[in-house]
């Protein structure tokens, strides 16, 4: 299993925790998926104490927490949010999001690299939400990141892998870097395909939380991720242009 900053999760699925119908459904989905890592946004607060109740629920799940800077649109905002997350959750891990465009939630990759550099120098272990751009990936690694998390498609769109060529190129250029497809997954087949491309994990939220049966979908995604990983490891056949008979023709009856 791949190591993420020294931590080797048993599951290749990372699960988000927002937009579930209820805390009970969230808890059941996490347990059904058997995940070791969940992402959490700090933007959960309320005068009725709902924010603290949510944090208590997450801690009770006995999983590794990956706080995120969801909704941040600049370097200063993202860095400040990351420091708050480290204080609240007591972890150096941070999923770094710096949004540059509101309709697609595309990362502001220039600000992302700068924020990653600042946080890495301050002892954070950064998981950057990025595009599949090879140059930006190289700059993020130079800034101190040891993991890359390119999007499959814009957040919440359920479109799957919009640019398989780009994702495949990223895997080929950085064979030893842990890579996680983050965002845009909608179906178990999308998750399996990401693993077939050689990715080390899949991070998703909306596909499970927004499903008619979040618990069932959580289990399906976990199985799909494992199936894709096993398929990749089994060295699958390359596509062929000509048919190849699966039954030998030697020894067949001559008419």
Query: What 3-state class would DSSP assign to 121?
Result: helix
pLDDT in tens, 9-37: 999 999 999 999 999 999 999 999 999 99
Contact 141, 132 (CB under 8 A): no
109-117 mean pLDDT: 97
Nearest to residue 211, comparing CAs of 229, 192, 185?
Answer: 185
Q: Would the pTM count as exceeding 0.85?
A: yes
Kindly state the average pLDDT of the residues 202-231.
Answer: 96
16 is in an annotated binding site: no
DSSP secondary structure code for residue 81 in this structure? H
Partners of residue 67 on adjacent β-strands: 40
* Residue 123: count of CB within 10 angstroms of its CB: 9
Q: What is the mean pLDDT of residues 108-121?
A: 97
Q: Which residue has the tokens 């002892």?
A: 123
Q: Is 189 annotated as a binding residue?
A: no
Give the helix/strand (H/E) hosting 29.
Answer: helix 23-33
In which region does residue 93 sit, left (phi positive, over 0), alpha (psi from -120 to 50) or beta (all else)?
A: beta
Pick from 240, 222, 132: nearest CA to 183: 132
Choose the catalytic residue: 24, 59, 76, 95. 95
- The packing angle between helices 109-121 and 134-142, to 10°, is 20
The answer to whether 184 is a known ligand-binding residue is: yes
Adjacent-strand bridge partners of 14: 37, 203
The pLDDT tens digits of the residues spanning 137-165 come to 999 999 999 999 999 999 999 999 999 99
Q: Which domains does the chain have, with CATH numbers?
A: 13-234 (3.20.20.70)
Contacts of 197 (CB under 8 A, 6+ apart): 161, 164, 167, 168, 171, 232
205 annotated to bind ligand: yes
Q: Are 57 and 243 in contact (CB under 8 A)?
A: no
Per-residue confidence (pLDDT) for residue 88, from 0 to 100: 87
Asked if residues 178 and 195 have their Cβ atoms less than 8 Å apart, the reply is: no
CB-based contacts of 198: which residues, under 8 Å, 6+ apart?
168, 171, 179, 232
pLDDT value at residue 45: 46
Q: Clarify whether 139 is annotated catalytic.
A: no
Contact 2, 8 (CB under 8 A): yes
Cα-to-chain-centroid distance, residue 113: 18
Chain-centre distance for alpha carbon 249: 47
């Amino acid at each position: 299993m791949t190591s993420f900053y020294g931590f080797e999760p048993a599951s290749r699925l990372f699960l988000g925790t927002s937009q579930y119908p209820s805390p009970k459904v969230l808890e059941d989905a996490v347990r059904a998926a058997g995940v070791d890592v969940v992402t959490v946004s700090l933007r959960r607060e309320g005068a009725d104490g709902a924010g603290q109740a949510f944090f208590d629920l997450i801690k009770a799940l006995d999983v590794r927490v990956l706080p995120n800077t969801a909704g941040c649109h600049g370097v200063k905002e993202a860095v400040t949010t990351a420091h708050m997350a480290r204080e609240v959750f007591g972890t150096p891990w941070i999923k770094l999001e710096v949004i540059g465009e509101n309709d697609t939630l595309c990362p502001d990759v220039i600000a992302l690299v700068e924020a990653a550099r600042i946080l890495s120098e301050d002892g954070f272990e950064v998981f950057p939400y990025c595009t599949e751009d090879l140059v930006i990936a190289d700059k993020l690694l130079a800034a101190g990141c040891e993991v890359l998390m390119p999007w499959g498609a814009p957040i919440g769109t359920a479109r799957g892998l919009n640019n398989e060529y780009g994702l495949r190129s990223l895997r080929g250029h950085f064979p030893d870097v842990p890579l996680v497809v983050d965002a845009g997954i909608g179906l178990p087949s999308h998750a399996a395909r990401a693993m077939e491309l050689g990715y080390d994990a899949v991070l998703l939220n909306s596909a499970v939380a927004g499903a008619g049966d979040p618990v069932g979908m959580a289990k399906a995604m976990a199985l799909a991720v494992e199936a894709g990983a096993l398929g990749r490891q089994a060295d699958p056949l390359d596509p062929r242009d000509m048919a190849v008979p699966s039954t030998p023709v030697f020894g067949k009856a001559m008419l």
